[in-house]
Amino acid sequence: MLKFKKIAAILLTAATITGCTASLNGVQAMAANKNKANVTENKKELKIYNSTAALEDSNLNMKFIANAKFFVDPFDNKRTVFLSTDGSFIKSGVKQQGSYWYGSMNWPSGYECSIEIKDEANSGGKTEIVSSTPTNTIKSSRVSNTMGYSVGGVVGVTSGKPMGNINASFNHSQNISYDQENFTTVQDENNLHKVNWKVQFDSTPDGYDRYYKTHFYGNEMYMKSRLSNAGNENLTSIDKLPSLISGGFSPNFLVALKAPKNKSQSLVEITFKKHMDFYEIKWARGRNWYGSNSYDCTKQVVKKFVIDWKKHTIKSFDEVQKEKETKELKELVTKLNNEYSAFMNSSATTPEEIAIQKRVEDLEAKNKITRTFEDNESETKILPDGGVIIGGKWVWELVK
């Protein structure tokens, strides 16, 4: 059975400040929230803010969580944020099929996660990854590390859960943990702008790995018996497989980012990958089962997030772009109904007025804004030839 980690309660007083829900280009934003807590040191406050962006992705069949913990430290000349993927979940996608003489299984042989800084030029200085966890290679069935923050901007990483001596060393600490039975975590890239982790299948309890092969029986990784059973009954039962294969993976990776005090926003790209293998058994030479394993495909999802250092929030890039577009459209609609009203209700004459009319027509065609005509009888005119000019004006509004 897949084990889900229970999130430990942080022993700080926190109060929810904001929350929202939005739909982003086919990706459903589930929730976002921001919390604040304070730690006092030498009569000065270390302020801590929490913000979460949550998405779902159908391509990888996963829940995508990005958590940002902001440290506002009067003793540090830079800004600091802890960015984690705690709460994310990638469904394994394991699938078995077969017949009397044949059996096969699509299964995840590895997962991968990278966090990369994607700041644009002239964005107020560099954002740097100053620490990350887990580090190096970890073969234990459970990964557990702690990252701590001390007043003055000091960031450190220790193995295991926070203990008394760790809490004494740091003003605030955050633990990450996840299960990886029969898998190994390898951090194969770690620099100031990018980190990458691979969680790779190691071997079965019997010692069979992805590349094992013998002359008579081939690869016996998921073969129940060499000589008996029908093919569709001779594969290891899904409920007997490790949790990362039978259910999925709960990635919990953590980085510490630092940026100059005057920086407003940072752009971060998070990529998750799932590597799938194909295992099959065939009845060979009329006397025994023969197994083989091969790489099948890699599925991935890439999402960009905007870290707002001043507002202490993290949001998906798509959500930020949508908010920016909505703001610009609101400003345009206000101008259309006020200072642009004269030429928009008659005819444009200058190049600027013609360009505005063209833009409005494009936005109306895209169903971004719409117009309605408001009658005004007092402005209605009857012409000498009997014609009528109906009084009134066009009024624009955003399409909801």
**Where residue 22 falls among pLDDT bands split at 50, 70, 90?**
very low
Residue 222 CB contacts under 8 Å (≥ 6 apart), including other chains: 105, 107, 204, 235, 236, 241, 279, 281, 291
> What superfamily does domain 15-322 belong to in CATH?
Leukocidin/porin MspA (2.70.240.10)
C-beta separation of 129 from 192 below 8 A? yes
Out of 12-21, 186-195, 362-371, which region has the weakest mean confidence (pLDDT)? 12-21
Q: Which of 314, 316, 333, 340 lies closest to 400 in space, CA to CA?
A: 333
The number of angstroms, rounded, from the C-alpha of 252 to the middle of its chain's C-alpha atoms is: 12
User: pLDDT, tens digit, for every residue of 280-316?
Assistant: 999 987 889 999 999 999 999 999 999 999 999 999 9
User: pLDDT, tens digit, for every residue of 49-90?
Assistant: 999 999 999 888 899 999 999 999 999 999 999 999 999 999
Q: Which of 275, 270, 244 lies closest to 65 in space, CA to CA?
A: 270
Out of 31-35, 255-259, 315-319, 382-386, which region has the weakest mean confidence (pLDDT)? 31-35
CA distance 39 to 313: 19
The H-or-E segment that residue 129 falls in is strand 128-133
pTM of the predicted model, to two decimals? 0.81
Residue pointed to by tokens 């590349």: 211
pLDDT the model gives residue 348: 81
**Where residue 387 falls among pLDDT bands split at 50, 70, 90?**
low
pLDDT the model gives residue 10: 29
- Between strands 288-308 and 265-284, the pairing is antiparallel
User: pLDDT, tens digit, for every residue of 162-206?
Assistant: 555 555 578 899 999 999 999 999 999 999 999 999 999 999 999
User: pLDDT, tens digit, for every residue of 141-156?
Assistant: 999 999 999 999 999 9
Q: How far apart are the first and last CA of the chain?
A: 44
Residue pointed to by tokens 């971004």: 368
> Is the pLDDT confidence value at 346 over 70?
yes
Backbone dihedral region of 182: left (phi > 0), alpha (psi from -120 to 50 degrees) or beta? left
> Is the pLDDT confidence value at 370 over 50?
yes
Out of 270-279, 345-354, 359-368, which region has the weakest mean confidence (pLDDT)? 345-354
Backbone dihedral region of 136: left (phi > 0), alpha (psi from -120 to 50 degrees) or beta? left
Per-residue burial over 90-101, b = 16 or more CB atoms within 10 Å of its CB, e = otherwise: bebebebebeee
Query: Which residue would you say has higher pLDDT here, 1 or 88?
Result: 88
Residue pointed to by tokens 């081939």: 218
Query: Which residue would you say has higher pLDDT here, 356 or 36?
Result: 356
**Where residue 159 falls among pLDDT bands split at 50, 70, 90?**
confident
Percent of the chain with pLDDT over 90: 70
| Tokens (6 digits) for 330 | 């609101």
User: How many CA atoms within 13 Å lie on the side-chain side of 146?
Assistant: 19
CA distance 185 to 199: 4
Q: Which of 128, 168, 165, 166 lies closest to 145 in space, CA to CA?
A: 166
User: pLDDT, tens digit, for every residue of 218-246?
Assistant: 999 999 999 988 998 999 999 999 999 99
C-beta separation of 3 from 179 below 8 A? yes
> Is the pLDDT confidence value at 9 over 50?
no
**Angle, alpha carbons 285-289-293 (nearest 5°):** 115
Question: By CB neighbour count within 10 A (0-12 exposed, 13-18 middle, 19+ buried), where does 202 fall?
Answer: middle
CA distance 284 to 223: 14
- To 10 degrees, the CA torsion angle through 176, 177, 178, 184? 90
